[in-house]
Amino acid sequence: MKKKISIVMPFYNEEKNLLEIFNNLKIKVIDVNQQNYNFEVLLMNNNSTDNSSNIAKEIINKFSYVKYYKMSRNFGYQANIKAGYDLCTGDAAVQLDTDGEDDPELINSFIKKWESGYDVVYGLRIKRKEKKILSLARNLFYFFLRKYATFDIPEKAGDFRLLDRKVINHLKRFDEKNLYLRGLISYVGFNQTGINYERKERLSGNSKFSLLDYFSLSFNAIASFTKKPLLLIFYLGTFFSFINFILIPIYLLLFLFGIVETRGFTTLILIILFFFGFLTLLIGILGIYIGYILDEVKNRPVYIIDENENKNI
């Protein structure tokens, strides 16, 4: 009996790229491997507002192995991928973006690694074309995460990867609201490996993932997979408390012996401003963690599906 491989294709307003990416996938992967594997393709529409929905429906009318799901609103990139993993039925699943930056042909190498015994095979982006400020921010983020995360998260790995069914089943058990799938998949463990590749430029159009979205994803990763910022607050608080216990009796003795004069008003103001700013920063870090706790306590669904078109159901 042939194994089934699911291809999860999340998209949002990709009318210029969706059909071309699907055709590349069909030619380079599905047609090449159809003698050995069955395939299903999940087109995951994150509530697009352009003509992407109609293009996706044209595809499912032509190919019986293609399924279509539309979110009730834009729940975010990570939630859309998670929905695809939850809904897929293959022995393995591959996530492929529809912007053309990841070459579908690499999936063939993913499959070979999977058949050799690996449970997770991810693409390692050794080279990519992007703005320098984004590259700098990304490098700083991965430096922090690599240094302070409680387990290893591959630095150059994105969401282009293959997951074995047992990994998918464990991933489905996670119901976190602020998702960072790269971290969750690393957390699950099992036998993982990477394949180097060069990431291309988008086929056309602009990225739907803004710089603010990258920062939001970074906050999700840091808050979910490291407690070091909270420990830093504790360490700094302990340090400054120790300094205060030393300085308070010293200044008290200086005052009693009449050594302290009224000069130093400017210094006093600067110290007050510094500590107010510092305390505001610490409260902000606490606020981020409390906000994530609030999201988890609410227990709202990570995504809601509005449309489901599947000829196999």
| pLDDT tens-digit map of 91-105 | 999 999 888 788 888
Token duo for residue 216:
């939001």
Q: Which fold has domain 3-209+302-310?
A: Spore Coat Polysaccharide Biosynthesis Protein SpsA; Chain A (3.90.550)
**Exposed/middle/buried for residue 187 (C-beta within 10 Å: 0-12, 13-18, 19+):** middle
pLDDT at 196: 84
Q: Enter the tokens of residue 145.
A: 């995460």
Nearest one of 159, 179, 171, 172 to 110, comparing CA atoms: 159
- Tens digit of each residue's pLDDT (9 = 90 or more) over 268-282: 655 665 666 667 667
Distance of alpha carbon 288 from alpha carbon 265, whole angstroms: 35
CA atoms within 13 A on the CB side of 78: 21
Q: Is 238's pLDDT higher than 70?
A: no
Contact 194, 311 (CB under 8 A): no
Residue range 126-182, pLDDT digits in tens: 766 655 666 666 666 666 666 655 556 666 677 889 999 988 998 888 777 677 777
Check pLDDT > 90 for residue 300.
Answer: no
Return the pLDDT at 249.
67
Q: pLDDT tens digits for 22-76?
A: 898 988 988 888 888 999 999 999 888 888 888 888 888 888 888 999 888 887 8
Name which of 120-134, 172-186, 187-201, 243-257 the model is least confident about.
243-257
Q: Is the pTM of this model over 0.85?
A: no
Across the chain, what does the average pLDDT equal? 75
Q: Is 305 exposed, middle or buried (0-12, 13-18, 19+ CB in 10 A)?
A: middle
Strand residue runs (E) in 152-242: 157-164, 192-198
